[in-house]
Structure 1
Amino acid sequence: MAGRRLWLRKPRGTGEHIAATVVALAALVVAVRMAAGAVGALKDAWPVLSVLALLAGAVAAWRSRQATATRRRERERLATLRITLDELDVMDDRAFEYALRDLLIRDGWPARRVGGGRDQAADVIGDHPQRGRIVVQAKHTRVGGKVGSSVMYAVKGTAGPAHKADHAVVVTNGAFTRDAMAWGDRHGVHWVDRKKLQRWAETGAALHELLGVSARFRPSRFKRAA
């Protein structure tokens, strides 16, 4: 019995038609009364709903103003950002990467931190409408520590194929070996050592000025290699 389907039979005869009509009219009356009750309830609640709507609008406007003010304060902070070498030295790797991101933003490069376990030799990436894409590999080290050529090889190998970079740079608060600097100069991987980092972060020199990146550049060897 449980598997049997129920079918509605059409009314037969005048009596059944009249009964069906009466039921339909009763259902219609009930529906109309329910609708009228809902309209009446809505009418009674309209002042409360209006107040709630106004409150919701006021909260949304307040949040929008707060967000705008926060973004403005952040832009103002970054526009005058200065970070001393002492401050950079006490940072951990993650904080150092965020500091480099903020410095790029200060210089007009909309940038984001991408460092992580699978960063493919890129910790920060910035995109500039005139200067193209820059990939930064951050090497935070103890004072006096040196970055070797292997870092340059890794950055060169991924800057174009993995990140579509126009410019690649390795930044450290320490130093570079002579071989690393020479290899980077030959193969187009920029390097920023402690001395250049001080000029960039502490005195406010723009990174593109330190690297000699003009506002109008030719597509780099990194993108052609991609």
Structure 2
Amino acid sequence: MAQRWPRLRKPRGTGEHIAAGVVALAAATLLLQMARAAGDAVVRGWPFLLILAVGGLAYGSWQVLRAARARQTRAERLALLRVTLAEIDAMDDEEFEFALRDLLIRDGWSARKVGRKGDQAADVIGDHPQRGRIVVQAKHTRLGRKVGSSVMYAVKGTAGPVHKADHAVVVTNGAFTRDAMTWGDRHGIHWVDREKLQRWAESGAALHELLGVSARFRPNRFKRAA
């Protein structure tokens, strides 16, 4: 059964009318005081409100310009070089290494291919004036194959002591085992799987964006361990 709320009845008699009038007057007075207080607060705080509004507008405009600039930069990268996953899958190991070198150059690194027999877990080395040195280990695989933890161990052991790297990354057109990704994350070895590779090579994202390498980097454990 639905609950029935009590209905307010009209005041009866002179006394109730007077009481009702007093209550209404008190309520009106309170509302007036609240309105005055709010108005005073606005008058006293208008500089702060103006600054807040201007700051919000400036931040919004900056975000719009930043997004537009990022789209333009990505379009410029793609105009320089775009490699599809289908093209990468059709490459042999050496062609894959050259493609990674060219993608680094597109992103502003001074890169060279060094991969050969006895390369000590480095196929491409790139240098950047603000981002330091990066060592890339390329693993071109057939679809469905996964790169295991042993590759991460090898890169970790040579990135700093041998190649003086600030950043190390393993790149594959396939995938990584769960253990390899976990170990890499724990020990500072970046990994680029098929999905990230597509964003880098085919969609125009820069490698340092995918890896989160800022322009003002801190020399990491690799160089300190060298």
- TM-score interval (norm. to shorter): 0.5 to 0.7
TM-score, length-normalised on structure 2? 0.65
- State the 1:77 CA deviation: 9.3
Number of the residue aligned with 1:217: 217
**Could you state the TM-score of these two structures normalised by the residue count of structure 1?**
0.65
How does 1:74-223 map onto structure 2 within 5 Å?
80-223=80-223
Q: Which amino acid is 1:197 matched to?
A: L
Which structure 1 residue ranges, 5 or more long, are not aligned?
1-75
- Of all paired residues, the percent bearing the same amino acid is 86
Cα distance in 2, alignment partners of residues 104 and 176 from structure 1: 22
Q: Is the 8 A contact 1:148 1:177 kept in 2?
A: yes
Residue segments in structure 2 that go unaligned for 5+ positions in a row: 1-75
**1:97 is matched by which residue type in structure 2?**
E
Shift of 1:118: 1.3
Q: Distance in 2 between matches of 1:199 and 1:161?
A: 31
Q: How many residues align?
A: 151
Task: Report the Cα distance in structure 2 between the residues aligned to 1:219 and 1:207, rounded to whole angstroms.
Answer: 18
Aligned-partner SS, 1:185? helix
Is the Cα contact below 8 Å between 1:78 and 1:102 reproduced in 2?
no
Instruction: Tell me how large the CA RMSD over aligned residues is.
Output: 1.3
CA distance in structure 2 between the partners assigned to 1:107 and 1:79 by the alignment = 12
The SS at the match of 1:105 is helix
How far the C-alpha of 1:214 sits from its partner, in A, is 0.2
CA deviations on 1:58-116 (whole Å, 9 max, x unpaired) are: xxxxxxxxxxxxxxxxxx99862000000000100000000000000000001000000
Following superposition, which runs of at least 4 residues in structure 1 exceed 6 angstroms of deviation?
none
- Give the distance between the partners of 1:102 and 1:79, measured in 2 at CA: 13
> What whole-Å deviation, never above 9, does each CA across 1:108-141 have from its counterpart, x for those lacking one?
0010000000110000000000000000000000
